[in-house]
Chains A and B, each alone.
Chain A
């Protein structure tokens, strides 16, 4: 469970935050004494002794009940203790998800014979970050399984526990709590910078495909793991985007990089060469044994509650998600039709986008290492941009700055959350860095400046010049400021 992050000095050991427990319960399911176990729908790790499970659940229940008396509309969200921190989340009425995270700690060796002293760093982890991680867990579950309530309707507690078990068993293994940060709080979408004409071409492509394959209900278009078009509503897209970029795409890009299953082997369809292939469903259409099963996702769970097949199809760097009502049977014929129609067009489009993208890059000048790094997020369209984070891989997301700086960013954000008004916070970090947070009408910008001798006024002026919010969201090639310039040039 413990993973040492770095060793300072000879024997001192640092441990990063880690997942201790993760459980889901519904207090209504076992109201009577002796039936407490019925409340527990899922418990991780599963090998915990039954009574301990019941005790832990009972404790959470009690805390939530108790704090409710102070503020009935906003029950407790987290509980801080010396060794760990618990996060509570009630995604659906009476269904509670609890995540217990062990605080990071430092193990200091003592003189011979004595056991080492453990120092818990209880202030190092942020409620906003892990609270968001917990919510994301639920959203991801819901995307692939629908709501708890629907599962209950369909198959009672039995079905629900089955689903939870199946999903979380694997999902929790992919949680990397040590690398969670501000970006998890935002859960934003990175949009691909694109000129109007190419964008319209993509529109046209999407419309044509939806018209000729009328089964398709929604389409989403991505390039370089960045979103260009979403037919889904924002909230559904947000979680689907998260799935695609942190799970599906990395899984498929690694074999690509390794040279296996190379996309550079064009498929011949008719007399047109194309590079299209399915990322979900059949991996090879030519294979007579190919399976035509696609993952199912649930969207618009608040109103129309739709269950859809998720077809992800990719040609070069362009990926398209086609979503089709789950009630439709999809077989070889449909997949071949889709492959034949989309493959050639998407291949062309992908090279068009690539060409346009390179032109824009050339226009905006060569990639030079800028004096600052930043994270930008707009709550209105969930647009997110970070020059702090390296390319995300399936396992971890790497940051290029010291964790202490990331912590400052998180703290500033927590301050912003507390008030509604626009705010600006400038912090001088220990390591001579300036950290500036700015919140303006639903937008947040965090800049890390590396100017040793700059004073507050200079930093303030610098940041002012960087912020031209109104031109930032489209982040197209109207490059009026240094920052926008970077927005365009910096990807991956």
Chain B
């Protein structure tokens, strides 16, 4: 049953004191820290984040209504700003017109802050030394409410009477840029104009590196609409904001949004289940970007809160959706702050379509081991007709692998060329977990797979060839160990003619180790000898090996002819050839070889005699004995 839950809460939540009459809890989305403020800070402020080992605690003398905590990370004092600028804080700032209401503020960097009032935005630089703020820019506009995305420093302002025209502002290094505004299409237009679009239904998030505004569109029950949907607007730095994706919820009720690992998670309150959407997953039957949930809705895996103390018994407390205050990446509830995590293993069993599954997995952060296990599983079952699926999966993996290799290559080229052209610093491509290379496949999948006794060798070879085909298709150089795996399997099952054919069409690329392996097969499969020699010749770096092979086969003349044809005959060892010639017990052959070296000596040193360093005394003696003194070439003496 636990395999059903594909969403879970992280193992180590941030624990804090529950909000109460004396305790205020704040959450800083930018720094992902929880602030527990007791008695307005007078009795203490505790700051905790999921990554922080220790919490920071300090006291604060005056009562706080609002808090901004951007500087905690830098261990700077907390600044507080109060409406109208009265009293007690370290830096005070009056902002907006007299009658303006401050809606809030956001830190856009450690020393920049933006105030949002109902009449506009003001962008300040914080000067901690002078304890003052410097106005950088301001913009007047009627604002209903705002939403801030700390990751990208984009603020979304709701304007107009109905609130459905959104004006985004982007902040970067002291600049404030106005982006093009856009209108959210409302489901119903009410006659008396009033605010319809609420900030609860709008969220801003980065998905796959792009900024999206998510709008939770509730459908009126009266219409024949199937249910609510989430509409994604793609927010670009330049150009108009476009409606890009629609996520179908097919139900109604209260919803909350999360973005985890580029997936949009929609929690449905009444059923206590969550929907998961991947905007890159295309539905084949529509070319519009309408998405159905990747998987059937499931509840979040129940979280076990371990109780401490003598009566500590693990109690399974499902965290109900309604208790949680939802932030884009977090769940906050009953004294805990959790990260939401996607569990990939259950997805594997829930998503039957392997092609879709692979695409989905390849886009996830911690996917490597899951992908590899999917591959292993897929091969071990050996279902009928699974080869096409295997092929698709391999192609998907190698597509990502190839993209990475290409990026890596162009990076290396760029680095080698130096920083001469262009000022852009070359960034080394990041190797994500989705890059599954040949060694990963070999170690975790293929080498184990080929050892399996319960799978037919036909299927094993088919799978290996399919992987090699896929690599070739993406023009990835195949590593030698994969070829070895193929050869080992073929040899094991005595399929040497098959091996021969593969080599004939250069499916297994030439290499010295492969040539040596072939040589070793000669006794069981004679043609391997020729295959091996050809390969060595094609490699053209293996002349010594070729000579050795020929000599070992007593083809002394052949060896000599070969080495002469490649121009290496002045450097070969005379003794080695004479030894081999003697072994053939062919007198004429020995004579020929001996004469060749005498002539070489004459040519190189002006004398037909062998030098002592050549260790040919034994052969000289034999030659004399066999053919007589007068058979030696006479040294030319002047």
B524 interfacial contact with A, CB 8 Å: no
Count chain B CB atoms within 10 A of each CB in A214, A230, A422, A441 and give the residue with the most: A441
Does B613 belong to the interface (CB within 8 Å)?
A: no
A476 contacts the other chain (CB 8 A): yes
Q: Within 8 Å of chain B (Cβ to Cβ): is A211? A: yes
Instruction: Specify the chain A residue showing the minimal Cβ separation from B525.
Output: A380
CB distance from A482 to the nearest CB of B (A): 18
Say whether B530 contacts A211, CB under 8 Å: no
Q: How far is the CA of A203 from the CA of B463 in the complex (A)?
A: 11
Closest residue of A by beta carbon distance from B527: A380
The docked-state distance in angstroms from the alpha carbon of A383 to that of B530 is 13
Does any Cβ of B come within 8 Å of A233's Cβ? yes
| Residue in A203, A208, A231 whose Cβ sees the most chain B Cβ within 10 Å | A203
B303-355 contacts to A, CB under 8 A, are none
A229 beta carbon closer than 8 Å to chain B: yes
When the two chains form the complex, which single residue of A200, A442, A469 contacts B465, counting CB atoms closer than 8 Å?
Answer: A200
Would you call B225 an interface residue if the criterion is a C-beta within 8 Å of the partner chain's C-beta atoms? no
From 221 to 262 in chain A, residues with beta carbon under 8 angstroms from any chain B beta carbon are 229-231, 233-234
Task: Among B527, B530, B535, find the residue whose CB has the most chain A CB atoms closer than 10 A.
Answer: B530
Distance in Å: Cβ of B92 to nearest Cβ of chain A: 72
Interchain nearest-CB distance for A22 vs B (Å): 32
B465 lies within 8 A of A474 (CB): no
Q: Does B572 contact A (CB under 8 A)?
A: no
Docked CA distance A315–B534 (Å): 35
Most chain B beta-carbon neighbours within 10 Å: one of A194, A199, A212, A442? A199
Chain B contact patch, size range: 20 to 34
* Binding site secondary structure of chain B: helix
CB-defined contacts of A211 to chain B, threshold 8 Å: 384-387, 458-459, 462
Chain A minimum-CB-distance residue to B539: A470
CA distance A473 to B526 in the complex (A): 16
With known contacts A211-B459, A212-B384, A474-B506, A201–B537 Cβ distance under 8 A: no
The answer to whether B505 touches A442, judged by C-beta atoms less than 8 angstroms apart, is: no
CB within 8 Å of B: which A468-492 residues:
469-471, 473-474, 476
Instruction: Convert A347-380 into 0s and 1s, putting 1 for each residue whose CB lies closer than 8 angstroms to a CB of B.
Output: 0000000000000000000000000000000101
Q: A204-B465, A234-B497 are in contact. Are A441 and B530 (CB under 8 A)?
A: yes
Residue A42 interfacial (CB < 8 Å): no
- Choose among B469, B527, B531, B538 the residue that contacts A200 (Cβ–Cβ < 8 A): B469
Chain B's closest residue to A231 (CB) is B498
Q: Verify A203–B459 contact, CB threshold 8 A.
A: no
Q: Write the A169-197 contact mask toward B (1 if CB under 8 angstroms, else 0).
A: 00000000000000000000001001011
The smallest beta-carbon distance between A442 and chain B, in angstroms, is 6
Tell me if A197 and B387 are in contact (CB < 8 A). Answer: no
A208 touches B388 (CB 8 A): yes
A233 to B465, CA, bound (A): 19
The smallest C-beta distance from B130 to any residue of chain A, in angstroms, reads: 69
Distance, CA A230 to CA B496, complexed state (A)? 12
Task: Name the CB-closest residue of B to A443.
Answer: B530
Most chain B CB inside 10 Å of its own CB: which residue of A191, A210, A380: A380
Q: Does A207 touch B at the CB level, under 8 Å?
A: yes
A393 within 8 A of B: no
Is B501 an interface residue, CB under 8 A from the partner?
Answer: yes
**Which of B462, B506, B537, B538 has a CB less than 8 Å from the CB of A207?**
B462
A375 to chain B, nearest CB (A): 19
Bound together, the chains give a CA A211 to CA B457 distance in angstroms of: 12
Distance (Å) between the CB of A336 and the closest chain B CB?
17
Assess the A214–B384 pair: CB atoms within 8 A: yes
Is B533 in the interface zone, CB < 8 Å from A? yes
With contact pairs A196-B472, A474-B506 given, residues A208 and B527 touching in the complex (Cβ less than 8 Å): no
Report if B504 contacts A (CB, 8 A). Answer: yes
Residue of A nearest to B468 (CB): A200
In angstroms, Cα B458 to Cα A203, docked, is 12
Chain A hits for B534, CB < 8 A: 469-470, 473
Interface size on A, residues (CB 8 A): 33
Verify A212–B472 contact, CB threshold 8 A. no
Residues of B within 8 A of A230 (CB): 497, 501
Question: Is there a chain B Cβ closer than 8 Å to A381's Cβ?
Answer: yes
B507 contacts A200, C-beta separation under 8 Å: yes
Chain A residues within 8 Å of B10, by CB: none
Count of chain A to chain B residue pairs whose CB atoms are closer than 8 Å in the complex? 86
Bound CA span A380–B466, Å: 27
Q: How far is the CB of A226 from chain B (nearest CB, A)?
A: 13
Which residue of the partner chain, among A207, A469, A470, A473, contacts B466 with CB atoms under 8 Å?
A: A207
Partner of B387, one of A201, A207, A229: A207
CB of B558 closer than 8 Å to a CB of A: yes
Asked whether A203 lies within 8 Å of B530 as measured between CB atoms, the reply is no
Question: Considering the chains assembled together, what is the distance between the CA atoms of A211 and B462 in angstroms?
Answer: 9
Cα distance A380–B473 when bound, in Å?
A: 30
Chain B residues, CB < 8 A from A194? 505
Q: Is B569 an interface residue (CB 8 A)?
A: no
Shortest distance between the CB of B464 and any CB in chain A (Å): 10
Q: Given A211-B384, A230-B501, do A196 and B506 touch, yes or no (CB 8 Å)?
A: yes
Residue B391 at the A interface, CB < 8 A?
yes
Asked whether, in the complex, the Cβ of A203 is within 8 Å of the Cβ of B506, the reply is no
Interface residues of B in 370-388 (CB under 8 A from A): 384-388
Contacts of A469 in B (CB 8 A): 534
Chain A residues, Cβ within 8 Å of B530? 378, 380, 441-442
> Contacts of A470 on B, CB cut-off 8 Å?
533-535, 537-538
Q: Which residues of chain B have C-beta atoms less than 8 A from A201's C-beta?
A: 469
Interface residue ranges of B110-159 to A (CB < 8 Å): none
Pick the contact of B507: A196, A214, A381 (CB < 8 A): A196
Bound Cα distance A233, B472 (Å): 27
Could you say which residues of chain A place their CB within 8 Å of the CB of B391? Answer: 204, 208
Within the complex, what minimum Cβ distance (angstroms) separates A119 from chain B? 44
The complex places the Cα of A381 from the Cα of B507 at a distance, in Å, of 16
Which residue in B385, B388, B500 is a CB contact (below 8 Å) of A381? B500
| A196-B505, A200-B507, A476-B506 known; A471 vs B387 contact (CB < 8 Å) | no
From B385, B473, B504, B558, contact of A197 by CB (8 A): B473
- Alpha-carbon distance A229/B385, docked complex (angstroms): 21
* Shortest Cβ gap from A381 to chain B (Å): 6
Specify which chain B residues have a CB less than 8 angstroms from the CB of A229 in the assembled complex.
Answer: 501
Residues on the B chain within 8 Å of A474, using CB:
504-506
Would you give the 0/1 interface string for B72-95, flagging 1 where the beta carbon is closer than 8 Å to chain A? 000000000000000000000000
Q: Give the contacting residue for A210; candidates B458, B468, B533, B558; CB below 8 A.
A: B458
Tell me, in angstroms, the Cα distance from A197 to B473 when the chains sit together. Answer: 7
Chain A residue contacts of B459, Cβ below 8 A: 211
Additional 19 contacts, C-beta under 8 A, given A197-B472, A211-B385, A380-B500: A196-B472, A200-B465, A200-B472, A203-B465, A204-B387, A204-B466, A207-B458, A207-B466, A208-B387, A208-B391, A211-B458, A214-B384, A234-B497, A470-B533, A470-B535, A470-B538, A471-B538, A474-B504, A474-B505
Ranked 4 nearest A-B pairs via Cβ: A207-B462, A200-B469, A470-B534, A380-B527
Residues of chain A touching chain B, judged by Cβ–Cβ distance below 8 Å, are 191, 194, 196-197, 199-201, 203-204, 207-208, 210-212, 214, 229-231, 233-234, 378, 380-381, 383, 422, 441-442, 469-471, 473-474, 476
- Interface pairs (17), CB distance under 8 Å: A196-B506, A197-B469, A197-B473, A200-B468, A200-B507, A201-B469, A204-B465, A207-B387, A207-B458, A207-B462, A208-B387, A211-B386, A212-B385, A212-B387, A441-B530, A470-B534, A476-B506
